Structure 1
Amino acid sequence: MATSRRFTDRTEAGEQLAEALLEREIDADIALAIPRGGLPLGRAVADALEVSLDIVVAKKIGAPGNPEYAIGAVASDGSVWRNEAAFRGTGADEEYFERQREVEAENARQKAERYRGDRSEPDLAGKTVVVVDDGVATGSTVRACLEKLQGTDADRIVLAVPVGPPDTIDELEAEADEVVCLETPAGFRGVGQFYENFQQVSDEEAMAYLDR
């Protein structure tokens, strides 16, 4: 079995993603990174494709008593994706989900505002949008971001990630017009295992990529 490549860091992964997008001749108008980890890759992609870089923000909705276990996710405009199997298996009810959706939508909105500063949200009408993240596991936040973008008048939505498990990538292909994923290893345990350096990106560092 071929072993999956490991990326040096997020910037190098972004450069490889950009190469794959150029090879596929994807004529992008804008790159949207999912903060925080997506921004170093988004910067590399935006620079290589010679397009502007902005963000699309979503927050996961954690299970009762286990906030790290996502039963869904919500974007800054309230667009929501729910993992029905996870939702049913955790004892969460509709009231809990709705309450958490409101809280996390507000958190996502505040984060988007903090990152953008005085810049307004980009107009995506008629545009080819490339959504970039540092990898997907369950893909919950990515799905909420795609849900949000499907509510815009974007012409085409392309998801670009370096790595993700085969089943998640298959599912995401139904939710974006095109998915570019460099590695879909069968032995996927977590995104970090495919990076030599996978240190957390601070808000300040992430915002600096946006301002460049």
Structure 2
Amino acid sequence: MRFQDRREAGRALAKRLRYLRGHHAIVLGLPRGGVVIAKEIADVLDAPLDILLVRKIGLPGGPELAMGALGEGGVLVTDHDVVRGWGITPADVATAADAQRAELARRTTLYRRGRPPIPVTGQTVVLADDGVATGSTASAAIRVLRARQAGKIILAVPVGPESVLDRLGRDVDQVVCLSAPHRFRSVGHSYGTFPQLEDADVLTLLDDTPNPLRRPS
């Protein structure tokens, strides 16, 4: 399955999640691309929209391949298969993680603008991204939500490898995915257009919602 863009993929996921409308779900997007997906879902569900900040830790010299991820609250997830397969040392992981912590802190300050996250304790949470590859960032986000005592966690992504989705499915209550190709190439390959988003795009999406929990202060 190939999507025209993130908005089309988000609308398709929203149709699968329409049963949650009226059930007080909270929709969280993983910046940057996942916020586009989350916005489409939140609009259909008439649900609060927020972000959950995570940051991929890429391989030295190959940043597109994740060897781990950071999440809000000090969460660190390491993909041990990637680390072993590429001969990455613990020092390499630590150095790369330190570099991404600075970016995670920058985005937290910029995107949240002093506002706390929407409380998720005991709530149904839809965690949305524009796709999964290794699953590291999704794993970090799930750990953050478990630490915040979310009730039911639904991972909603347009595309991802079946093996990764199966693994992530053991850590959440439900996975909703539109396409799990046998020969997965990359998330971007599943889209007709897959532009790099900027900080301003995320801020616009967060402000462009009727839910009072995300109105500018």
Aligned to 1:83: 79
Letter aligned with residue 16 of structure 1: A
Shift of 1:23: 4.5
| Matching of residue 113 in structure 1 with residue 109 in structure 2 | yes
Q: Tell me if the contact between 1:76 and 1:105 (Cα under 8 Å) persists in the aligned partners.
A: no
What is the CA-CA distance between 1:132 and the residue it aligns to? Answer: 0.5
Structure 1 residues 15 and 123, CA, compared in 2 at 3 Å: closer, same or farther? same
* Match of residue 31 from structure 1: 27
Q: Gaps (5+ residues) in structure 1?
A: none
Structure-to-structure mapping, 1:152-191, within 5 angstroms: 152-191=148-187
- TM-score with structure 2 setting the length: 0.88
| Residue equivalent to 1:195 | 191
Q: CA 1:64 to 1:194, structure 2 compared with 1: closer, same or farther past 3 Å?
A: closer
In the superposition, the TM-score normalised over structure 1's length comes to 0.90
**Structure 1 residues 61 and 92: CA distance shift in structure 2, 3 A:** same
Distance in 1 (CA, whole Å) between partners of 2:122 and 2:151 is 5
Instruction: Determine if contact 2:155/2:175 at 8 Å carries over to the other structure.
Output: yes
Look up the equivalent residue of 1:7 and give its one-letter code: F
Query: Per the alignment, in what secondary structure is the counterpart of residue 124 of structure 1?
Result: coil
Counterpart for residue 124 of structure 1: 120
- Distance in 2 (CA, whole Å) between partners of 1:26 and 1:162 is 23
Identity of aligned residues (%): 39
8 Å CA contact retained: 2:21, 2:44: no
The alignment partner of 1:201 has SS state of coil
**Matched residue SS, 2:138:** helix
**Pairwise CA distance, 1:162:** 0.7
Gaps (5+ residues) in structure 2? Answer: 209-217
